Amino acid sequence: MGWLADLDRGFLDLCFPRDCAVTQATMDDEPLRHLSPAGIDLLPRILDPRCLSCGHPFEGILEGDRACPHCLDLRPAFGRAVCAFRARGSARRIVHRIKYERCPFLADDLAAAAVEDEVFRRHLAGSVLVPVPLHAARRRDRGYNQAERIAERLASLIPGCRAEALLRKQHETVSQTRLGRQERRKNVAGAFAVAQGRSVDPATRYVVIDDVLTTGATLHACAIALRQAGAELVDAAALCHG
């Protein structure tokens, strides 16, 4: 199959010359198809110290263990969330292209760039990665679920991981983008459940995966669904925070 993949890649590159999604520089033989090493260096990566609850970087000195303003009023059903990048600048633009401009392939490269960070990689290692589901109608319209694609790519890169689409979205919810913190939580409360015929293992660690963590409301609602089905070890991760 190797020669076929090479042929396919060569054909695609002929039709759609590759350039880096960050620097726009033409790419040739770089390991990733749409993110150059220079582009990855320019992504707004989150480094320690960061909030042990939502993963937002700590800026300035904060006191107490619940002092992070980004998750102050959230008592998350997940233990810890880790995010690789701030949802700013080039990272924000890439996520927008993944979700709204039919560029799911960028999710593969952003996920690969995310695991270059050891904290992010270790957070996922050995776990079952559970993508935040889209409602079936939305999934049909978009043609893919970006969180699923991200979870699958992460699982292929991190030893001992596997992706399992355990959850389903029971009803459509209005877009979270214009909602405040409380409204977001109400909007997604009860929206997720473990899919029929699927079960969870109390001894397995699950990490709910999304493209972006904003207030944590969606990941929280997914974690509740897993816990209600019997999961005891539930954490979360997103490529971007913002």
Residue 134 CA to residue 140 CA, distance in Å, equals 9
Q: Specify the residue, 112 or 207, whose C-beta has the smaller distance to Zn ion.
A: 207
How many CB atoms lie under 10 A from the CB of residue 171? 8
Helix (H, G, I), strand (E, B) or coil at 49: coil
Closest approach, Cβ 202 to Zn ion, in A, equals 27
Nearer to Zn ion, 71 or 217 (CB): 71
Question: What is the Cα–Cα distance from 173 to 223, expressed in whole angstroms?
Answer: 17
CA distance linking residue 214 with residue 183, whole number of Å: 13
Q: How far apart are CA 79 and CA 94, in angstroms?
A: 28
User: 51 vs 107, which CB is nearer to Zn ion?
Assistant: 51
Question: In angstroms, what is the minimal distance from the CB of 189 to Zn ion?
Answer: 20
CB of 81 to Zn ion, least distance (A): 8
- In whole angstroms, the minimum distance from the beta carbon of 173 to Zn ion comes to 23
**Which residues of the shown chain bind Zn ion in the complex (CB under 5 A)?**
51, 53-54, 56, 68, 70-71
Report in angstroms how near the CB of residue 55 gets to Zn ion at its nearest: 7
Of the pair 55, 131, the CB lying nearest Zn ion is at 55
The three-state secondary structure class of 11 is helix
Sequence-separated (6 or more) residues with CB below 8 Å from residue 212: 87, 95, 238, 239, 240, 241, 242
Which residue lies nearer to Zn ion by CB, 70 or 153? 70
Evaluated on CA atoms 32, 33, 34, 36, the torsion sign reads positive
Please, is 142 exposed, middle or buried when counting C-beta atoms within 10 Å of its C-beta (0-12, 13-18, 19+)? Answer: middle
Residue 222 to residues 73, 95, 130, 171, 207, Cα–Cα distance (Å):
18, 21, 9, 13, 10
Q: Which is nearer to Zn ion, 112 or 236 (CB)?
A: 236
> For residues 73 and 201, which CB has a smaller minimum distance to Zn ion in the complex?
73
Q: How far is the CB of 68 from Zn ion (least distance, A)?
A: 3
Minimum separation from the CB atom of position 181 to Zn ion (A): 12
